[in-house]
Amino acid sequence: MARNQGTFWPWLGLAAGILLLDQLTKVLILGYYQLGDSTYVTSFFNVVRVHNTGAAFSFLASAGGWQRWFFTAIGVAAAAFIVWMLRSHPGQKLFAFALACILGGAIGNVIDRVLHGYVVDFLDFHWSFLSGIFHGGHFPAFNIADAGITIGAVSLILDEILRVRRSK
């Protein structure tokens, strides 16, 4: 079987699963937490409710509102490009896995921006060794969509490293 043979439907299913898990968890957070509420879970993890009007690490969060539609447009364009790439390369398993993870996460955050004007974040990890980098050692809160995007990005890097090694 050639590398590009296969169907992209399972990859769309993975993206849909990430999207559904992301939206379900956000509905629960919005339903049970007020903005700023926090629940202690472990010595290094809390569940919180935070609204992010920016991008990663609250980039452009205080830009005045235009960033909502800017990041929404980027997310929609990225999703369309990823679907096209998935259709072109469904047999490249790690590559397609990476794209599917990014797709599910991107759409999850686009939905938040359209519905709420912000992205709902709720996973709060904190360690004292991070206190020199992040306020109080708290890594910026994130959500399932962000985790999917991160897993996808790491997988894309790994796929490229493996591709280069195979070509030698």
Catalytic residues: 121, 146
Contact by Cβ (8 Å): 75, 106: yes
Angle at 23 between CA 19 and CA 26, to 5 degrees: 145
Tell me how far apart the alpha carbons of residues 126 and 43 are, in angstroms, rounded to a whole number: 8
Residue type, 112: D
Annotate 14-54 with three-state secondary structure: HHHHHHHHHHHHHHHHHHHCCCCCEEEEECCEEEEEEEECC
Nearest alpha-carbon partner for 75 in 149, 153, 147: 149
- Give 111's contacts (C-beta < 8 A, 6+ positions apart): 19, 23
